[in-house]
Amino acid sequence: MEKKALLVISFGTSYPETRKKTIEATEKHLQNAFPDHDFYRAFTSRMIINKLKTRDNESVDTPQEVLKKLKAAGYTHVQCQTTHIINGYEYDITLKELKAFEKDFECLTLGRPLLTTVEDYEETVDIVMKQMPKLKNGEALVYMGHGSDHHANSTYPCLDYMFKMKGYEDVYVGTVEGFPELENIVPLLQEKKYKKIYLAPFMLVAGDHAINDMASDEEDSWRTVLEEERFKVECILEGLGEYAGIQNMFLDHLKKAQPVAEM
């Protein structure tokens, strides 16, 4: 007899308010689409898992820990969906962990991160621009992506190019920990003589990076740096996971998930 589980795998966040609006909202959306599957959650960030345990006495499992429990409980079919944005380190680790269990279930599948195909980029741009303020003359929107030294960091310049290809000439994508950095974007903003810059996180959650690295009064935050360059700055603290369109994209990826053994 089949016993089915749905496992949603996220990087995680230690900020409960944004988690409710983003990760939990996405989980619920996927859960509602698969009512015959028992729901499970996993985070890939050990740092966040440890922080939640120490600070809130809240336990969240890693993907590996959940799969061990599912195996022991006799599940036969496990569908997994990552809410990661790029096919980077976190996704690589997740896939490696899942592959160790590929023979323990009749079917074990994994849906890909948000930005995987060209169509994903196109659809994502359409979705997020419907959520952002309509830019007037002299205004630009700068997205803060996470960034990485993984080769998948090429996602961010590719995304920037896609915004331009779709007619959004005043939208820029930078990263905190990759390329392009804010210092690469500032000269472009100065050259166009923008007066006002909107800042928004290109991340599933509006968590630590959005609150501190982007929007805070700290001297090296993106907001502070841009204000020192005499731009007027407005921060939009919304994670991508808040948008119904992005939740639908993850659902579409889940429906197209491949067996882990074939990945």
Give residue 9's pLDDT. 98
SS3 32: helix
The pLDDT tens digits for 66-103 are: 999 999 999 999 999 999 999 999 999 999 999 999 99
pLDDT at 1: 86
Report, as residue numbers or ranges, the catalytic residues.
146
Q: Which fold has domain 118-239?
A: Rossmann fold (3.40.50)
The 10s digit of each residue's pLDDT in 146-196 is: 999 999 999 999 999 999 999 999 999 999 999 999 999 999 999 999 999
Pairing outcome for strands 107-111 and 258-259: antiparallel
Mean of pLDDT over the chain: 97
pLDDT at 48 over 90: yes
CATH topology of domain 4-115+243-262: Rossmann fold (3.40.50)
- Domain extents for the chain? 4-115+243-262, 118-239
pTM beyond 0.85, yes or no: yes
> What is the DSSP track for 182-247?
HHHHHHHHHHTT-SEEEEEE-SSS--HIIIIIITSSSTTSHHHHHHHTT-EEEE----GGG-HHHH
Same fold, 4-115+243-262 and 118-239: yes
Burial of 211 (0-12, 13-18, 19+ CB in 10 A): middle
Write phi, then psi, for 197 (nearest 5 degrees): -120, 125
Mean pLDDT of 56-71: 97
- Specify the residue for token string 């599933």: 204
- Pairing status of strand 38-43 against strand 4-10: parallel
Ramachandran angles phi, psi of 192, nearest 5° = -85, -5
Contact predicate 77/44, CB 8 Å: no
CB 231 within 8 A of CB 197: yes
The percentage of residues in the chain with a pLDDT greater than 90, rounded to a whole number, is 100
CA dihedral 247, 248, 252, 257 (to 10 degrees): 20
Q: Is pLDDT above 90 for 203? A: yes
- Give the residue from 75, 82, 83 showing the smallest Cα distance to 108: 75
pLDDT over threshold 90, residue 202: yes
